[in-house]
Structure 1
Amino acid sequence: TPTPTLTAGRTTEVLCFVSDDRLVRVERRVDGTPTVDAQLQHLLAGPTTAERDRGLTTALPGAVPVAAARPRGNEVDVDLGGAGDETGRSDEVLAFGQIVCTLTARSDVDTVAFFRGGAPLGVPRADGSLSRRPLAADDYAGLVAPR
């Protein structure tokens, strides 16, 4: 697959999307380093038309209702909205993986923790286990497409 031409921008933003049930890192050129919340919003907006044309999708709509993201040292706490019941969707692990892999691609973020109503939330890891602890990109390494 040829490497896509990057548009103008002074820095690179990494977003993780989905293709063939794998996480795929995408680099976008942006004018300045986005805040954690801005980068998460870019992820939630989904792939661009050009990225969709390359077969990239997202597992996020409907799977993980993100309400807010707050940096805390080298960890980001992500608050989820919604009713409190997990959807049980088969792509939930990919959705959480997209968030963790996107945010931990930043040099200032090592782990991501998920909360609902202030309580730690058990989220699926690539191996199918649930974790209430902060997650790192390594927790989803088995789902990342080779470069």
Structure 2
Amino acid sequence: MSVLACAVLLLAGCGVPVDDAPRPVQAPPGPLSSPTGGGAASNAGRVNESLCFVRGDRLLTVVRRVDYLPDVDTHLRHLLAGPGNAERDAGFTSALTGTASVGGVRLSGGVADVEVGGAGDETGRSDEILAFGQIVCTLTSRADVHGVTFRRDGQPLEVPRADGSLSRLPLTATDYASLIGRR
């Protein structure tokens, strides 16, 4: 029994001491993140937002650091806004201007359903293929999107894949693999 009593006494003394009152705690050394954007800021807590743009005749992913991953519709709007100044200076463009106009996206069961209007009548033009590829590659970069379909006036739309064949099934980046380049 004396062994058991010694073990209990030893374990009781191995805790964190309790203070009678709160005591101040100093921040660890290093840059501090400011919620207002002033002062020294770090990238702690920021996430990657992947956007697929065009350079030459290839699809390339650009990663932007953002405070939080936006919803799927906002993510698509960021793509439609096109490359930023630094991205344009690096040679990135977008095939989305002058092709199909995008009316919005709805996410259901991991499939992003994109409503398009205007141009995009399954012509198979290479810039149209790149435009659809940009949307598919951008949206499927998200963990919550496993495929992308397209609609016009509420009806399923056949869109060109990289090989020029048309599909109305959910598309993934694999359907545009031959167009995806390396930076």
Fold similarity call, TM over 0.5? yes
- What amino acid maps onto 1:97 in structure 2? G
Q: Structure 1 residue 130 and structure 2 residue 166: aligned?
A: yes
Q: Which one of 50, 55, 61 corresponds to residue 25 of structure 1?
A: 61
Matched residues in 1 for 2:99 and 2:123: separation? Answer: 7
What percentage of aligned pairs have identical amino acids? 63
Q: Which one of 144, 147, 153 corresponds to residue 117 of structure 1?
A: 153
Q: What is the aligned length?
A: 141
Q: 1:90 Cα deviation (Å)?
A: 3.1
- What amino acid maps onto 2:150 in structure 1? F
Q: 1:54 Cα deviation (Å)?
A: 0.3
Matched residues in 2 for 1:84 and 1:53: separation? Answer: 28
Give unmatched runs, 5+ long, in structure 2. 1-41
Q: 1:114 Cα deviation (Å)?
A: 0.2
* Per-residue deviation, residues 60-105 of structure 1 (Å, max 9, x unmatched): 0121210010001110000112277456643000000000000000
Partner residue of 2:140? 104
Distance 1:45 1:87, change over 3 A: farther
Partner residue of 2:102? 66
Matched residues in 1 for 2:125 and 2:162: separation? Answer: 14
Matched residues in 2 for 1:97 and 1:83: separation? Answer: 16
Q: Structure 1 residue 140 and structure 2 residue 176: aligned?
A: yes
Partner residue of 1:36? 72
Matched residues in 1 for 2:57 and 2:74: separation? Answer: 25
Partner residue of 1:49? 85
TM-score, normalisation: structure 2: 0.73
RMSD: 1.8
Matched residues in 2 for 1:93 and 1:85: separation? Answer: 11
SS at match of 2:178: helix
- What amino acid maps onto 2:77 in structure 1? Q
74-83 or 117-126: which moved more?
Answer: 74-83
Partner residue of 2:28? none
SS at match of 1:91: helix
Larger radius of gyration: 2
Give unmatched runs, 5+ long, in structure 1. 1-6
